[in-house]
Structure 1
Amino acid sequence: MRVINSHKRIINKPKEKVFKLLKTLATNDDQIWPYNNWPAMRFKEGVKLGSRGGHGRIRYTIIALEPGKHIKFEFTKPEGFNGTHELNIKAISEDTSEISHLIKMNTTFKASFLWMLVVRWLHDALIEEAFDTVENYFSEEKKKTKYNLWVISLRDFYKRKMFQTKQHS
């Protein structure tokens, strides 16, 4: 199955200010990733070309990096996710920027079900929450994307599963 998944957000700050914030991604001082609610994004060698890492069960390698503009990752897991995802920043005007996240991939038969029933829903919630974090950094008025019932159910299922796994360890 061909998957294209796109998220965009206008930030009322110059690109340079947004980029400063995005430079913290996957660092110990990460000010973007909603790690209070999601597994942290980590890379063994830091954010640089060729680094391998990911978040939770999603794994990827950095295959393109243009500081201040673009970072592109190639999926390595889950099996059957064949493609990339990327984060971009562009200036809309002197005082306004756009951040975007784009997935382009082909999935195998089994991975298509995983994407449609689980990953897509969690991914969309995570990206919107990360974009809320960026927007809220620059704003007095705090934005909070609400999870839909399916995302709440999936997150509850995984929390219970993780708790059970820890009890049996």
Structure 2
Amino acid sequence: MKVINIHKRKISQPKEKVSLLFKTLATSNDQIWPYRKWPSMRFKEGLKLGSKGGHGRIRYTVVEFNDQSFVKFKFTQPDGFYGTHELSINAVSENTSEIIHKIDMKTSLKASVLWVFMIRWLHDALIEDAFDNVENYFSKEKKTTSYNVWVTLLRAYYKSTSFKTKHA
């Protein structure tokens, strides 16, 4: 199955300010990744070209990287995920930026079922939480994206089973 999954959010800040947060990704001072709610993004060698890591059961390698605005990862796990996901920050205007997360992959039959019924839902919630973190960093009014019933059930299942794995 071909999967294209795109999330976008405009942030009322210049790209230069949002890019400062981008530099914290996968560090001990991460301002983007919602590690309080989701498995942390970790890399044994830090976030740089060629680094291997991931979050939870999702594993990937950094294949393109610009510490100001762009990172692209190639999936290595789960089995049957063939493609990439990327995070970018673009200037929309002098005082507005847009953050974009994109998955572009093909999946095997088994991975397609996993994507459709489980991973896609959790992924979408995680990305919205990450985008909330970016938006909230610059705002006094804190945004929280609520989870639908399916995501709530999947998260409860994930927390209660051996489905959990350790990070890189």
Q: What TM-score does the superposition give when structure 2 sets the normalisation length? A: 0.95
Bigger Rg over Cα: 1
**AA aligned opposite 2:35:** Y
Report the 3-state secondary structure (helix = DSSP H, G, I; strand = E; otherwise coil) of the residue aligned with 2:161. helix
Alignment of 1:57 onto 2:57:
yes
Residues of 2 paired with 1:127 and 1:105: CA distance?
17
Give the superposed CA RMSD. 1.5
**AA aligned opposite 2:4:** I
Report the 3-state secondary structure (helix = DSSP H, G, I; strand = E; otherwise coil) of the residue aligned with 2:115. helix
Report the 3-state secondary structure (helix = DSSP H, G, I; strand = E; otherwise coil) of the residue aligned with 1:25. coil
Contact 2:70 2:89 in 1 (8 A): yes
Report the 3-state secondary structure (helix = DSSP H, G, I; strand = E; otherwise coil) of the residue aligned with 1:98. strand
List gaps (5 residues or longer) in structure 2: none
Contact 2:22 2:69 in 1 (8 A): no
List gaps (5 residues or longer) in structure 1: none
Residues of 2 paired with 1:89 and 1:163: CA distance?
32
CA displacement at 1:69 relative to structure 2:
2.2
Alignment of 1:31 onto 2:31:
yes
**AA aligned opposite 1:100:** I
Report the 3-state secondary structure (helix = DSSP H, G, I; strand = E; otherwise coil) of the residue aligned with 2:128. helix
Equivalent residue runs for 1:36-51 within 5 Å: 36-51=36-51
Report the 3-state secondary structure (helix = DSSP H, G, I; strand = E; otherwise coil) of the residue aligned with 1:92. strand
Deviations 1:47-82 (A, max 9, x none): 100000000000000000122121000000000000
Q: 1:163 to 1:100 in 2, by over 3 A?
A: closer
Q: What TM-score does the superposition give when structure 1 sets the normalisation length? A: 0.95
CA displacement at 1:163 relative to structure 2:
9.6
- The equivalent residue for 2:17 is 17
Alignment of 1:101 onto 2:101:
yes
Deviations 1:2-45 (A, max 9, x none): 00000000000000000001110100111111111100000010
- The equivalent residue for 1:124 is 124
Report the 3-state secondary structure (helix = DSSP H, G, I; strand = E; otherwise coil) of the residue aligned with 2:140. coil
Contact 2:5 2:102 in 1 (8 A): yes
- The equivalent residue for 2:161 is 161
Residues of 2 paired with 1:109 and 1:164: CA distance?
23
**AA aligned opposite 2:157:** F
Q: 1:48 to 1:160 in 2, by over 3 A?
A: same
Residues of 2 paired with 1:54 and 1:164: CA distance?
13
Residues of 1 paired with 2:120 and 2:23: CA distance?
26
Contact 2:52 2:60 in 1 (8 A): yes
Report the 3-state secondary structure (helix = DSSP H, G, I; strand = E; otherwise coil) of the residue aligned with 2:93. coil
Aligned residues: 165
| Aligned-pair identity (%) | 65
Decide which moves more: 71-80 or 154-163: 154-163
- The equivalent residue for 1:147 is 147
Report the 3-state secondary structure (helix = DSSP H, G, I; strand = E; otherwise coil) of the residue aligned with 2:120. helix
